[in-house]
């Protein structure tokens, strides 16, 4: 497996997962919504299980409560994983904290996650416009810029967050910029596009609608442009090995136990505390 220097790791410490003696870049393993094989995604219990496995990068999702608190939750509505119904944005943080997610604990606040695991880095998908300012205010208040990567399927929303942050913060492309970079990379234009879009990582599926997105050439061209490539959501060991052999910089998985085993056989594990 080729391992090269991490693009943008110097300016954006979130992207620096160097380890070993001497320190060398390691693939970033992200536990998708924590580790919840029996339900309870995006809960403190799910994050605890992932951290106990050795993960120091968690992929999470956030919405805003009706009283402007940043809550860790994926869906716009409560129906799928709680015993309740209706939009998450219509409830207060206190009400949301009292709901049962997958039969486990309530919906946590992002602040609770930041404070409970100060060594953990968070890949945060900002799911709603209402969450933009509360999220940016929270990151500024806790000076957590080096601990988060700002993500969103909406590039407009992602850039709105970045404008409100008072320090440089790593960010991954939304759907529109991902598509543009896929086109621009073979033309040697990925670097200018990424700089204009304020993007430092591409988080993409291996294939999309039957088209292969992640190839060795694509990874190489992105890396030359200063971009990391993280692939989601990879749950089979064969897929993890294949992608790591292509040189991808990160893998997002629901099967945290499988990914932990894979990385432990190929790189330094547990990940430990990323370099400051």
Active site residue 32: yes
* Run of H or E including 260: helix 256-266
- Evaluated on CA atoms 54, 4, 244, 220, the torsion sign reads positive
Name the one residue in this structure whose structure tokens are 């994926």: 74
Angstrom distances, CA of residue 145 to CA of 140, 162, 177, 248: 7, 10, 22, 24
Angle 115-148-4 from CA coordinates, rounded to 5° = 130
What distance in Å separates the CA atoms of residue 49 and residue 260, rounded to the nearest whole number? 12
Q: What are phi and psi of 150, to 5 degrees?
A: -85, 120
In contact, 121 and 55? CB cutoff 8 Å = no
Report residue 185: phi and psi, to 5°: -60, -45
Selecting among 63, 74, 145, 200, the annotated active-site residue is 74
Instruction: Compute CA distances 127 → 73, 85, 151, 247, whole Å.
Output: 9, 18, 9, 29
Catalytic residue among 32, 63, 145, 249: 32
Told to judge if 74 belongs to the known catalytic residues of this protein, a careful annotator would answer yes
**Residue closest to 274 by CA, chosen among 7, 1, 26:** 26
Distance CA 261, CA 150 (A): 27
- Looking up tokens 């790593």 gives 170
Given a contact cutoff of 8 angstroms between Cβ atoms, the answer to whether 29 and 57 are in contact is: yes
User: Which are the catalytic amino acids?
Assistant: 32, 74
């Amino acid at each position: 497996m080729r391992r090269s220097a991490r693009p943008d790791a110097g300016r954006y410490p979130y992207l620096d997962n160097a380890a070993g003696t001497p320190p060398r870049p390691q693939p970033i393993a992200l536990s998708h919504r924590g580790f919840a094989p029996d339900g309870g995604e995006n809960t403190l219990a799910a994050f605890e299980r992932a951290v106990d496995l050795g993960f120091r990068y968690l992929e999470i999702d956030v919405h805003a409560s009706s009283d402007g608190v940043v809550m860790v939750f994926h869906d716009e509505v409560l129906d799928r994983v709680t015993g309740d119904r209706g939009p998450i944005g219509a409830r207060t943080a206190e009400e949301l904290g009292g709901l049962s997610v997958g039969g486990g604990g309530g919906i946590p606040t992002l602040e609770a996650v930041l404070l409970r695991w100060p060594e953990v880095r968070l890949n945060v998908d900002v799911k709603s416009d209402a969450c933009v300012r509360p999220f940016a205010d929270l990151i500024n208040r806790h000076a957590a810029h080096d601990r988060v990567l700002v993500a969103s399927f909406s590039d407009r929303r992602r850039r709105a967050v970045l404008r409100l942050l008072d320090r440089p913060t790593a960010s991954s492309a939304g759907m529109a910029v991902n598509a543009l970079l896929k086109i621009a990379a073979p033309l040697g234009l990925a670097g200018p596009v990424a700089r204009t879009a304020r993007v430092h990582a591409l988080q993409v599926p291996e294939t999309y609608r039957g088209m292969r997105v992640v190839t060795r050439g694509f990874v190489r061209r992105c890396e030359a442009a200063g971009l990391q490539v993280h692939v989601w959501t990879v749950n089979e060991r064969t897929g993890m090995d294949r992608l790591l052999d292509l040189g991808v910089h990160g893998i997002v998985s629901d099967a945290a136990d499988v990914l932990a085993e894979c990385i432990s056989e190929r790189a330094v594990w547990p990940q430990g505390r990323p370099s400051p």
